Every structure is written in C-alpha cells, then in structure tokens.
C-alpha cells in the first residue's frame, strides 16, 4: 500500500485524534518518511491540524484530521442485472448513491454511451465539483483484465469471451480522471472488508448468489486480485459432474448454468414446460417454500451445487467470515436456506467451527464501495 494511503487510513482510524506519533505507531513507516508524507498532505489540504488549547506543561499534542471535502472517489459497479454508483468523500462517507438496471450488451457504441451517461449523471446529481474527483473505480460483472483495463467477457449480460473491450481507456478519455477496473466479485469483498459488518476481518470470503455466482477473497488482510487466465473465486464455473447445461461461458456443466438466477428459470422451463407460472427463479423459490415437490427438487439440486462451491472456498482459503450478497441471498429465501443446509452437510463440522456466516448489510452497494476504495488506494 502506498504511504499516503497508509497515513490517511491511520488518521481516519484515529477519528481525528491521532498525532504524528500515533500515525507512526499505526503505519510503521519510518519517522522521517512519515513526517514528509504528513507535511505534504497538510500542504495540499488533504489533512489539517486541529488547534488545541494547551493543557498542562509540555508541548501540546496536535491532532491530525482528514479534510473530507478535499477529494472524492467514484465507485461504479456494472452488475449483470443492476448497476450501482457511489461517491465517497475523503472520510469515506458516502455522499451520493444511485442504481439502475444494466442494459444488455449490444455493442461497444451503445455500451459506452450508456456508461458515460451513467457517470455524468452521478456527477451532476451529486453536485460535487468534478475536478475534485481524484479517481474512479469500475467494477464489472465478468472477466476483467486489470492490467490492460479490458472487459474480456461478461457472459451474464451478453459479452462473449474474447470481446476485449478497452473500457478503462474509453472511460479515462471521457472523464479525464484516473480509473482502475476489476471484477464485481473482487470489488465486493474489498467493499465488505472496509465498510461491511465484518470490516477488518483478516480472512474473509464473499459469495455472490444472483444471476451469476462467484466469490471474492481477502487473505491475511490482502485482496486476492484475479486475472482472466487465473481467476480467483471462480466458483460459478466449477464443473459439476452430472450437470449437462450449457453455460454463458461456452462450457457445459458449470455450477452457475444450473444455480444462477437466469439458469433456474431455464431449468424450470425445461423440466416443467406446462407450468409457466414457475418459469422464474423467484416463483420457483416461492413454490418450493410452499411445498411444491417439483420446485423443491430443482431448488435442492441448485442448493447442493452452491454448497459444493462454497465448501470449496472454505477448503481453499479457510475464512473466518463468509458474507453472502446478491439477489438470491435472502434470509427468507428457500434456496438460500437450502444452500446453507447443504453446505453444513457437505463440510465436516471441524472445518465449519468458528466461521461467521452472514448476509451483507451494504444493500447491493458492496462492489461500488469496493471500487471507490480501490480507486483511492491507487490514486490518492
Ligand atoms: Zn461457465
């Protein structure tokens, strides 16, 4: 992590009561370097020193404070069904948020004009001066090359493998602001790590259950950032023996090709052709909850596939906390509860003890928040 980020994070953690000495203790940066960083941040107006009335003898402690309005970071999350945006100030308070449906991909021209309009509206509605936006984080559902800033694929919203859309170059050209792009799954776990109910948890796994299924990993406080050719937490595309369904990625038998939100509707159409009222994931879940045996059979299969994916993440990364998010992560959902039950059946209890399981309280904004955070980490 860059020194400016380490220092500003420490000042924020100190809730505007830390002196340079406290910052040095927290960051472990050498005294001389730390002082230089602090002085530069003070000179540039990102920090200010609060004046305290001297009390008693000795030099008064000078508490360092964040100037919240000195910089803003935008987090965009292009999900396969909905897109979210947040603007955070330098205190990482959310000063603006919005969401809208993601249009299905029909080509670069239409996509970019939609993306630019989404961003422009966020800036104009929030009424922040655009020159104070110091970075944009862009989370995208699909396979994202973070080094080249390209969308390699986004199967769940219509982008086939190999599309290689230069999203970062185009967004930077449009906004003239530095940007960083990553997958919505990586951004989600970063958002949870910094802003969620288990923030600061050293070993954390997020599980997204929605149209797509995927996972993100924080290991020893570090975000594991995947690349298209070596993805991290790619459980939606774990191959499940006996599953023959074609996946949006082009393979057959992927977990997501059965358990994903759109896939469940397709399975229902295939297995229950004369029950059109059950041809959606929500209707199927509701019918299963009400005891419909065909719906229960489909949901139970989906739950057992989900459980295999989640249990594998536990086996690989030994998290202390698992946080669920996405449209199918509902405490009253039949599929969600069946998934937890199947997970407990598949994973030996000694591997499960001590793992905290919860549903995100970030209301769908976890990836947008993570995107804003990674923009700050890269460009502050
Ligand atoms: Zn697949």
Cα(190) to ligand 1 centroid in Å equals: 24
> What global pTM score does this model have?
0.96
Cα(254) to ligand 1 centroid in Å equals: 5
Residue 252 inside a domain? The answer is yes
pLDDT at 51: 79
Q: What is the mean pLDDT of residues 48-76?
A: 86
Q: What is the mean pLDDT of residues 20-27?
A: 96
Cα(16) to ligand 1 centroid in Å equals: 48
Cα(158) to ligand 1 centroid in Å equals: 13
In terms of domains, do 121 and 263 share one?
no
Q: Which is it for strands 64-66 and 143-145: parallel, antiparallel or unpaired?
A: unpaired
Cα(245) to ligand 1 centroid in Å equals: 9
Cα(162) to ligand 1 centroid in Å equals: 14
Cα(230) to ligand 1 centroid in Å equals: 14
In terms of domains, do 315 and 301 share one?
yes
Give the domain-ending residue among 16, 42, 66: 66
Q: Which is it for strands 133-140 and 72-78: parallel, antiparallel or unpaired?
A: parallel
Cα(284) to ligand 1 centroid in Å equals: 22
Question: In the predicted model, is pLDDT for residue 59 greater than 80?
Answer: no
pLDDT at 16: 87
Question: In the predicted model, is pLDDT for residue 144 greater than 80?
Answer: yes
Cα(239) to ligand 1 centroid in Å equals: 8
In terms of domains, do 262 and 297 share one?
yes
In terms of domains, do 96 and 168 share one?
yes
In terms of domains, do 262 and 166 share one?
no
Question: In the predicted model, is pLDDT for residue 293 greater than 70?
Answer: yes
CATH number for the domain spanning 45: value is 1.10.10.10
Cα(248) to ligand 1 centroid in Å equals: 6
Question: In the predicted model, is pLDDT for residue 44 greater than 80?
Answer: yes
CATH number for the domain spanning 252: value is 3.30.420.40
Cα(368) to ligand 1 centroid in Å equals: 24
Q: What is the DSSP string of 61-111?
A: P--EEE-GGG-EEEEEEE-SSEEEEEEEETT--EEEEEEEEPPPP--HHHH
How many domains, in total, are found in the chain?
A: 3
pLDDT tens figures, 353-367 = 999 999 999 999 999
pLDDT tens figures, 103-127 = 999 999 999 999 999 999 999 999 9
In terms of domains, do 282 and 178 share one?
no
For 101, the token pair is 């449906």
Residue 157 inside a domain? The answer is yes
Cα(257) to ligand 1 centroid in Å equals: 7
Distances (CA, A) of 352 to 39, 321, 331: 48, 10, 19
pLDDT tens figures, 312-353 = 999 999 999 999 999 999 999 999 999 999 999 999 999 999
Residue 195 inside a domain? The answer is no
Q: CA 89, CA 67: separation in Å to the nearest integer? A: 9
Q: Which residue has the tokens 């790619």?
A: 234
What is the share, in percent, of the chain residues with pLDDT greater than 70?
A: 98
The band of 33, judged by pLDDT with boundaries at 50, 70 and 90, is very high
pLDDT tens figures, 177-224 = 999 999 999 999 999 999 999 999 999 999 999 999 999 999 999 999
Q: What is the DSSP string of 187-204?
A: HHHHHHHHHSTTTT-SSE
Give the domain-ending residue among 17, 32, 66: 66
Residue 78 inside a domain? The answer is yes
Lowest mean pLDDT among 15-19, 114-118, 165-169, 302-306: 15-19
Q: Which residue has the tokens 């200010």?
A: 48
Give the domain-ending residue among 43, 66, 89: 66
Cα(229) to ligand 1 centroid in Å equals: 14
pLDDT at 54: 67
Q: CA 34, CA 370: separation in Å to the nearest integer? A: 26
Cα(107) to ligand 1 centroid in Å equals: 22
What is the share, in percent, of the chain residues with pLDDT greater than 90?
A: 95
Residue 262 near residue 280, CB atoms below 8 Å: no
Residue 37 near residue 1, CB atoms below 8 Å: no
Residue 250 inside a domain? The answer is yes
Residue 308 inside a domain? The answer is yes
> Dihedrals φ, ψ of 50, to 5°?
-80, 135
Q: What is the mean pLDDT of residues 62-73?
A: 96
In terms of domains, do 111 and 134 share one?
yes
Q: CA 46, CA 41: separation in Å to the nearest integer? A: 5
Cα(205) to ligand 1 centroid in Å equals: 20
In terms of domains, do 242 and 355 share one?
yes
Residue 196 inside a domain? The answer is no
Cα(305) to ligand 1 centroid in Å equals: 13
Q: CA 74, CA 369: separation in Å to the nearest integer? A: 8
pLDDT tens figures, 233-284 = 999 999 999 999 999 999 999 999 999 999 999 999 999 999 999 999 999 9
Range of the domain at 43: 3-66
Cα(235) to ligand 1 centroid in Å equals: 9
In terms of domains, do 264 and 355 share one?
yes
In terms of domains, do 234 and 265 share one?
yes
Residue 18 inside a domain? The answer is yes
The band of 50, judged by pLDDT with boundaries at 50, 70 and 90, is confident
In terms of domains, do 256 and 174 share one?
no
Q: CA 359, CA 324: separation in Å to the nearest integer? A: 5
Strands (E), the chain: 47-49, 64-66, 72-78, 82-89, 94-101, 133-140, 143-145, 150-153, 179-183, 204-209, 213-219, 222-223, 321-325, 356-359
pLDDT at 58: 67
Cα(224) to ligand 1 centroid in Å equals: 21
In terms of domains, do 345 and 308 share one?
yes
Cα(51) to ligand 1 centroid in Å equals: 58
């Amino acid at each position: 992590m860059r020194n400016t980020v380490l220092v500003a994070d420490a000042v924020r953690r100190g809730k505007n009561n830390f002196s340079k000495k406290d910052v040095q203790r927290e960051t472990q940066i050498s005294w001389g370097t730390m002082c230089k960083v602090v002085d530069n941040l003070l000179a540039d107006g990102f920090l200010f020193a609060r004046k305290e009335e001297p009390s008693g003898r000795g030099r008064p402690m000078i508490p360092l404070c964040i100037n919240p309005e000195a910089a803003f970071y935008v987090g965009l999350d292009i999900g396969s069904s909905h897109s979210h945006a947040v603007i955070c100030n330098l205190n990482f308070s959310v000063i603006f948020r919005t969401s809208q449906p993601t249009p299905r991909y029909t080509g670069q021209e239409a996509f970019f004009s939609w993306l630019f309009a989404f961003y422009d509206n966020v800036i104009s509605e929030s009424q922040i001066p655009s020159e104070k936006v110091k970075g944009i984080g862009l989370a995208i559902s699909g396979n994202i090359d973070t080094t080249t800033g390209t969308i390699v694929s986004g199967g769940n919203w219509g982008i086939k493998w190999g599309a290689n859309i230069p999203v970062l170059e185009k967004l930077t050209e449009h906004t003239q602001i530095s940007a960083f792009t990553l997958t919505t799954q990586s951004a989600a776990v970063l958002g949870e790590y910094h802003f969620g109910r288990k923030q600061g948890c050293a070993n954390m796994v997020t599980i997204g259950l929605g149209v797509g299924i995927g996972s993100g990993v924080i290991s020893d406080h570090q975000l594991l950032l995947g690349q298209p050719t070596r993805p991290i937490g790619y459980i939606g595309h774990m191959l499940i023996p006996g599953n023959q369904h074609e996946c949006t990625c082009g393979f057959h038998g992927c977990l997501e090709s059965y358990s994903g939100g759109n896939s469940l509707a397709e399975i229902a159409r295939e297995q229950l052709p004369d029950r059109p009222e059950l041809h959606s994931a929500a209707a199927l879940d509701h019918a299963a909850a009400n005891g419909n045996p065909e719906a229960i059979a489909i949901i139970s299969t989906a739950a057992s596939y989900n459980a295999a994916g989640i249990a594998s993440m536990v086996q690989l990364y030994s998290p202390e906390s698992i946080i669920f998010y996405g449209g199918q992560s509902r405490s009253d959902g039949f599929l969600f509860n069946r998934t937890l039950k199947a997970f407990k059946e598949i994973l030996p209890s000694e591997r499960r003890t001590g793992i905290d399981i919860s549903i995100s309280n970030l209301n769908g904004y976890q990836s947008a928040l993570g995107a804003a955070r990674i923009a700050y980490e890269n460009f502050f």
